[in-house]
Homo-oligomer: A and B are copies of this chain.
Amino acid sequence: MEDTAAAVETPVTVSTFGVSRHPDTARLVLSSPKPPGVREEFVGVVRKAFRPRASGGGGAGRTPPARWGWALTALQTVFPVLQWGRTYNFKLFRSDVMAGLTLASLGIPQSIGYANLAKLDPQYGLYTSVVPPLIYAVMGTSREIAIGPVAVVSLLLSSMVSKIVDPAVDPVTYRALVFTVTFLAGVFQVSFGLFRLGFLVDFLSHAAIVGFMAGAAIVIGLQQLKGLLGLSHFTNSTDVVSVIKAVCSALRDPWHPGNFLIGCSFLIFILATRFIGRRYKKLFWLSAISPLLSVILSTAAVYATRADKHGVKIIQRVHAGLNPSSASQLRLSGPYTVDCAKTAIICAVIALTEAIAVGRSFASIRGYKLDGNKEMIAMGCSNVAGSLSSCYVATGSFSRTAVNFSAGARSTVSNIVMSITVFIALELLMKSLYYTPIAVLASIILSALPGLIDIKEALSIWKVDKMDFLTCLGAFVGVLFGSVEIGLAVSLAISFAKIIIQSIRPQVEVLGRLQGTNIFCSIRQYPVACRIPSVLTIRIDTSFLCFINSTFIKERIIEWIREEVETSDEKARERVQSVVLDMSNVVNIDTSGISALEEIHKELASLSIQMAIAGPGWQAIQKMKLAGVVDQVGGDWIFLTVGEAVEACVTMQKGTALEC
């Protein structure tokens, strides 16, 4: 960074575009300064990571008062609310209150449904909509995101924790483990933020997320068959095959079509209101409150008809009152801790991936930038606080954030309003949920799923990049037919295999010159480029010439040279007399790469062909100097550009020809 800064200060104006060869360029390659070593690089990364940044909020705190300035800046860094709170006014507040109320009307039924998906009692979903949004509101940097339980994380939790303890057998331990996972996930998230490990979220590529979300949506949809069909027995597995088997075997017993009727009709109702909301932008609030409306209508209908006596499954008792403390339930030692930690790290990454994807997309619409590391800390603190107050893992929800944004949220205050509304509902309205049919919860969850399946994006990935589509497909199939973890593992494996394959088999290109210029480019990519007779110019297209590709590159180059020598034996005048290796793409090299270069040089020497190297990267030339390759090749045969190298080779050949 310092070098760049120095360069910024002293820009030298170059007014003419002279292209005569500078006399000193040949020496430049070898006289370049030493690149930063591993230690300097590391120190630089750490220092840069922990340097407090001017946040994107608009430069407040830039000239802090001398005495308390430091403390204020630190506080503002941890609690961005102190920064934007200063300019907050009544007009913004009014927007936020409206948005918060809309959010709550969608959030309450969704939270109950997601708690059901997470195999917890309904109130735990509501608890999760109270505490985490409050914490996030004072620590987070996104203005539109809506925090609370989400479908994918609920599924992940229930499918992974069910494998440790069956919730049907021991619901108390199951719940305790869910809180433990939430606590650990929060701790992981905070540490990702503190240690600037934000790049971990990038490990799940966009393509993998598209496939993963689509697979998860279908799996969640299938799980809703239990509620929709009013089944009592169901499988704990999430894969398609087990679920379909379970449904088939359950349907052999008598079942009550009442559940299915209720579920389907309200699903159609919700989807219809959404369609209307999309068509007429002003009626979007209809789609936002339709889930709540469905709950009220269906509850009233069941209460009026006493349909629960005729097989319609209802929620029954819901605990009223604010979140109880769950600190004493955490199992931070004992037999389940390792399993909990494994689950927690997956939940932490998935939750962050979703939150940051949601946050970034809305921040980019509004034109501000999220601080990924700060987001992680805020999200982690929300979950740690949540785990102590009977919440499970919360994160940013796709569907609710969109509603929040459309309803005009201007800051995280809408989350606070939502949280207070849910709190009031918890205190006052829980008893009225007694007759709410479970099928209507299923229809609310089902209605949120289409947003997770992005067929258009998948098609565009297929069009642009087949390998990326494979990642996407791997995640999708893995989630669908294996489990959530298998889907993640498959997509990660394909993604990293892609990078490794790219490193194992790099392109090695023969270069030619564009006629009338001194530009050298690949003759495969630019067929108009012409090869220089008697000079073979080869570009190594990898940024890291290392153990994994050095043998391949070496053998490829030697093979080409031998073919050239063999085919040109007849016409001796055009025999290859020099080989120019364009190493301008090679940023770094390791000891295996260096010995490959040595062997190429040895092979060329045995065929009495001159070798020249053009434009090696900074780290590469340094290591080549240290390893003595530069001395072997000869300092005079290392050039800055291919053009210079080819020119030198041609000059030498003319010299030899004259001598003969």
Q: Which residues of A contact B (CB under 8 A)?
A: 3-4, 7-8, 11-14, 17-22, 24-25, 28, 32-33, 35, 37-38, 45, 199, 202-208, 364, 367, 460-461, 463-468, 495-496, 498-500, 502-507, 510, 512-519, 521-528, 530-533, 541-544, 546-552, 560, 563-564, 567-568, 574, 584-585, 587-592, 594-595, 599, 602, 606, 615, 617-618, 623, 626-627, 640-641, 643, 647
Contact = CB atoms under 8 A, between A and B. Distances in A.
A590 B207 contact: yes
A28 B567 contact: no
A226 to B, nearest CB: 36
Nearest to A602: B364
A591 B202 contact: no
A527 B463 contact: no
A178 B331 CA distance: 46
B500 A499 contact: yes
B519 A590 contact: no
Contacts of A641: 519
B514 A460 contact: no
A143 to B, nearest CB: 18
Contacts of A518: 17-19
Oligomer: number of copies: 2
A22 B599 CA distance: 38
B585 A543 contact: yes
Contact of A543 (B206, B468, B543): B543
B513 A14 contact: yes
10 contacts: A4-B523, A20-B517, A25-B517, A37-B466, A207-B590, A499-B544, A519-B641, A524-B618, A525-B617, A584-B584
B587 A510 contact: no
A24 B528 CA distance: 11
Contacts of A17: 518, 643, 647
Contacts of A615: 521
A643 to B, nearest CB: 8
A364 B28 contact: no
B623 A465 contact: yes
B199 A3 contact: no
A12 B465 contact: no
A568 B9 CA distance: 10
A336 B363 CA distance: 57
B515 A207 contact: no
Nearest to A524: B3
Contacts of A525: 32-33, 35, 617-618
Nearest to A599: B364
Given A543-B506, A567-B8, A591 B517 contact: no
B617 A541 contact: yes
A466 B587 CA distance: 16
Contact of A499 (B204, B499, B523): B499
Contact of A498 (B3, B590, B602): B590
Contacts of A543: 502, 506, 541-544, 585
Contacts of A640: 514, 519, 521
A361 to B, nearest CB: 11
Nearest to A515: B14
A502 B544 contact: yes
A587 B533 contact: no
A7 B500 contact: no
Contacts of A504: 199
Given A22-B516, A623-B464, A541 B207 contact: no
Contacts of A19: 19, 517-518
Nearest to A21: B517
A467 B546 CA distance: 11
B544 A206 contact: no
Among all A-B residue pairs, the 7 with the closest Cβ atoms: A205-B547, A12-B530, A525-B618, A543-B543, A19-B518, A464-B627, A11-B533
B514 A205 contact: no
Contacts of A563: 8
Contacts of A502: 543-544, 587-588
A653 to B, nearest CB: 13
A496 B500 contact: yes
Nearest to A618: B525
Given A525-B618, A543-B541, A590 B203 contact: no
Nearest to A18: B516
A42 B162 CA distance: 43
Given A205-B591, A499-B546, 13 more contacts: A8-B531, A8-B563, A8-B564, A12-B515, A25-B517, A32-B526, A199-B552, A202-B547, A202-B592, A206-B595, A507-B587, A525-B617, A541-B617
A7 B617 CA distance: 28
Quick one: which of A206, A503, A543, A592 has the most chain B CB within 10 A? Answer: A543
Quick one: which of A18, A208, A515, A587 has the most chain B CB within 10 A? Answer: A587
A567 B541 CA distance: 36
Contacts of A461: 591
A510 to B, nearest CB: 5
Contacts of A507: 587, 618
A518 B204 CA distance: 41
A203 to B, nearest CB: 7
Contacts of A38: 466-467
B7 A463 contact: no
A153 B45 CA distance: 42
B499 A205 contact: no
A22 B541 CA distance: 25
Contacts of A205: 546-548, 590-592
A498 B466 CA distance: 26
A594 B206 CA distance: 11
Contact of A587 (B199, B516, B585, B627): B585
A41 B523 CA distance: 17
A4 B517 contact: no
A120 to B, nearest CB: 34
A232 to B, nearest CB: 40
A594 B523 contact: no
B11 A530 contact: yes
A28 B526 contact: yes
A550 B521 CA distance: 25
